[in-house]
Amino acid sequence: MSLLLPSKLFCLAPLRNDIPGLYCPGRPLLHTRNQTLRIVCAKRAGKRRYPSEKKRLKSKQKEILAQVKTRNKFEGLWRLSKLGVPVHRDPGKDFLGVSEGLLEAIAKVLEFPVASMLPAEAFSVIRKSFDARKMLKEPKFVYVVDMDVEKLLSLEPRTWDFISQMEPKVGLIEHLSEEKVTGDLINIIRDCTRISEDTISGDGGNKDNSVAKGSLIASSRKPKIAVVGSGPSGLFACLVLAEFGADVTLIERGQPVEQRGRDIGALVVRKVLEMESNFCFGEGGAGTWSDGKLVTRIGRNSDTVLAVMKTLVHFGAPKGILVNGKPHLGTDKLIPLLRNFRQHLQDLGVTIEFGKRVDDLLIEDGQVVGVKVSDSKDQSQSNSQKWGFDSVVLAVGHSARDVYQMLLSHNVALVPKDFAIGLRIEHPQEVINNIQYSRLASEVRSGRGKVPVADYKLVKYVGRENGDVSAGATRSCYSFCMCPGGQVVLTSTNPSEICINGMSFSRRASKWANAALVVTVSTKDFESLNLHGQLAGVEFQREFERRAAILGGGNFVVPVQTVTDFMDGKLSVTSIPPSSYRLGVKAANLHELFPIHITEALQQSISMFNEELPGIISKEGLLHGVETRTSSPIQIPRNTDTYESTSLKGLYPIGEGAGYAGGIVSAAVDGMCAGFAVSNAFDLCHDSIESVFGKTQSSSAVKY
């Protein structure tokens, strides 16, 4: 028996060949005993909400109404959410201002009779997203808008009566007593420094309540800090430490983006893999040659996330990422941004060492006192050097498997962590546009039209009632790193292994769409392959990457199978559809990759995904193997407040490689928070991240 818990409610039905809409033209979908699947709704909305949820919302509404009675409605801002503007009334996805259609939606909320009389200058767009769900009468752009009451009244006094009748409503209308402004990280730290200096000199003239009064401490000697890894967490940790005055050295095993781009070109064109400069290693981390997604699960509107986003804008990201509901940069935008970031760090005095690999930690009396480094191209480590530091911020990515092994040799605590593995599915982008937008698909125009290039996000839960994990107990199945208008790329760091990912440029103009379809795995899955110990998850990944390389026949050729063949458990002799993967593909039976319970979980989830997106199962869909590096297979335990390793003093593990982030933004936030913690440890600043940004959810609070 199987239990499936999707996000939507479906009919209860047995898994058989006669289910309407279920693709299984050959034998039964699963080539084991017949099973019964059932679907359970996990969440309800609107009138279908559970009584407990209605009670909670009613209580929240009373609380808000009580608070607003003590405020002046004609001061501060009113935030208006869920303002819908039909596509034909909106200028399109790239327009981030206040249009006539948006003024009409605002007028409807205010119950103001003439929308054209509302001054656009009184409103600012905070968020803009696109909603094309099938349940809607028509697709629409959805806005969050801030209304400046004083400006509105000065430009249009006749709105006074309408504002006086406004009342807050949970999730729709909110009264903000004062404007909340978060600057970029550079200005925030410099404001902290300035206020500290004013406090020390006795000048209390400037009292900016929006920024904490940090205590900058003048040290007789600048602390020497090594930051290992130049991904988002490493860069933002560097930025904070350098701005606070530390002597920072950034050590990166890969190359700067200019040389890294040439190395990746050699890989794609001539199949020459540079072991230390590729899609995983190099300036900016693995996310540089990916989609550049800036979506996050740690609070889009939190001050820490906003500080990161505004810092990216400071270094050259388009301002639209602050407003876009699904912000992304693309590789072409990330490269110049990283150049600007590097230049700023160097201007602050940061020493940047590219092409240097950290081979070992120098430890005395249980304290890190430095690192042993060698040239990245020197695999023998014959010309290694010892560099002394007061502490080491470890910001490597989760492909730096040699670092895990090195930490284990020093008995640094490593905890195996759940992650996910699976396959990457690719369709023509036009297919996804038609599935998601129907008649509106023509408005995409390869990323240059009114509506965004269509994407998708799918999550289901698959399981069996017998609770046997090794046979495929309840596990999450989901789409990961969906790249509309993108391509499949090689993320292997070893010629004998095949691992893939997706990437896209800012315009997302490619004719393909791809996404990983993965299922969660845990230590019990590792043990089923007789893999044990702290690095069992790493070996689990390697096992399937090696299998994929063998199935592909070597030379970085990726094994592929049509979705229909994968669902039927067969390999057709007919030709396979074209792929965006440029190093070559080979038709193979992907059932040979994984244990049967993982293959079955993938089949079941694809079947359910096809219910939400009819057409996912088609001969045009092509599955590529294998996707294994969705997140770190280990976590390095650290102190919640100080970010210091619980088993080795002076070591600060951060970011994705340490198991505390999942994406560019969350990794950057983690690096920023760690930078404040290390600065605090060396008396560069006495106040914590909370005193600067207020109580906020850090990336380490989210399970990845």
Per the DSSP assignment, residues forming a β-bridge with 133 are: none
Whether residue 628 contacts residue 481, with contact meaning beta carbons closer than 8 Å, is answered with: no
Give the separation between CA 531 and CA 676, rounded to whole angstroms. 38
State the Cα–Cα distance between residues 85 and 610, nearest whole angstrom.
Answer: 29
Is 3 inside a domain boundary?
Answer: no
pLDDT score, position 44: 53
Are 253 and 370 found together in one domain? yes
Asked if 492 contacts 556 with a C-beta cutoff of 8 angstroms, the reply is yes
User: C-alpha 191: how far from its chain's center?
Assistant: 29
pLDDT at residue 689 in the model: 82
- Before 392, cis peptide (omega within 30)? no
Q: Which DSSP category does 578 fall into?
A: P
* Of 334, 371, 344, nearest in space to 260 by CA: 334
Residue 188, in any domain of the structure: no
Q: Which of 158, 176, 194 delimits the end of a domain?
A: 176
683 in the same domain as 606: no
pLDDT given for residue 61 in this prediction: 56
Measured between alpha carbons, how far apart are the two ends of the chain, in Å? 28
CA atoms within 13 A on the CB side of 549: 19
Residue 20: the pLDDT is 36
pLDDT value, residue 39: 34
Q: What is the pLDDT of residue 22?
A: 34
Are 272 and 370 part of one and the same domain? yes
What is the pLDDT, as a whole number, of residue 297?
A: 87
Alpha helices in 271-300 (DSSP H): none
Task: Compute the distance between CA of residue 621 and CA of residue 563 in angstroms, rounded to an integer.
Answer: 5
Q: What is d(CA 267, CA 490) in angstroms, rounded to the nearest whole number?
A: 9
For residues 644 and 638, the answer to whether their CB atoms sit within 8 Å is yes
- Whether 432 maps to a domain, the answer reads yes
276-317 pLDDT per residue, tens: 999 999 999 999 998 899 999 888 888 999 999 999 999 999
Query: What is the structure's pLDDT at 688?
Result: 75
What is the domain count for the chain? 3
> Under the phi-then-psi rule, with left for phi > 0, alpha for psi from -120 to 50, and beta for the rest, what region is 245?
left
Is the Cα dihedral 260, 265, 267, 268 positive or negative?
A: positive
Helix axes of 303-314 and 185-201: crossing angle, nearest 10 degrees? 110
- Beta-bridge partner residues of 515: 425
What is the β-pairing status of strands 36-39 and 2-4? parallel
Rounded Cα distance between 336 and 505, Å, is 13
Nearest CA among 691, 628, 654 for reference residue 303: 691
How many alpha carbons lie under 13 Å from residue 296 in its C-beta half-sphere?
A: 30
Burial class (CB in 10 A: 0-12, 13-18, 19+), 444: buried
Q: Clarify whether residues 470 and 376 are in a common domain.
A: no
pLDDT of residue 285: 96
Domain extent at residue 372: 224-410+636-693
Q: At what angle do helices 185-201 and 232-243 cross, to 10 degrees?
A: 20
Global pTM exceeds 0.85: yes
Residues 542, 616 within the same domain: yes
373, 372, 368, 369: which is closest to 412 by C-alpha?
368
Picking from 555, 558, 626, the residue whose alpha carbon sits closest to that of residue 594 is: 626
For residue 388, the tally of other CB atoms under 10 A from its CB is: 10
620 and 650 within one domain: no
How many residues appear in the chain? 704
Q: Which domain CATH number covers 106?
A: 3.30.70.2700
Please check whether residue 10 lies inside any domain of the structure: no
Q: Are residues 395 and 260 in the same domain?
A: yes
Token pair for residue 3? 């239990």
Domain of residue 264, CATH code: 3.50.50.60
**Residue located via tokens 């540079």:** 274
**Do 400 and 251 lie in a common domain?**
yes
What DSSP designation does 443 have?
A: G
Segments of the chain scoring below 50 in pLDDT: 1-42, 204-219, 465-472, 696-704
449 in the same domain as 394: no
- Flag whether 142 is in a domain: yes
| Nearest alpha-carbon partner for 195 in 183, 184, 210, 182 | 210
Establish if 17 belongs to a structural domain.
no
Cα separation, 246 vs 261, in Å, equals 31
In a 13 Å sphere around the CA of 220, the CA atoms on its Cβ side amount to 0
Same domain, 602 and 673: no
- Tell me if 699 is assigned to some domain: no
Q: 627, 650, 676 — which closes off a domain?
A: 627
For residue 699, how many C-alpha atoms fall within 13 Å in the half-sphere facing its CB? 29
The 3-state DSSP class for residue 270 equals helix
| 466 and 571 inside one domain | yes
Check: CB of residue 685 under 8 Å from CB of residue 219: no
In degrees, to the nearest 5, what angle opens at C-alpha 343 toward C-alphas 337 and 348?
130
Q: Give me 440's structure tokens.
A: 């509106």
β partners of residue 456: none
- The closest of 652, 666, 664 to 703, measured between CA atoms, is 666
The β-bridge relationship of strands 585-587 and 634-635 is unpaired
Does some domain include residue 490? Answer: yes
Domain shared by 397 and 316, yes or no:
yes
Phi, psi of 386 (to 5 degrees): -110, 120
Q: Which of 288, 398, 290, 263 is nearest to 338 (CA)?
A: 288
Q: Among 627, 644, 679, where does a domain finish?
A: 627
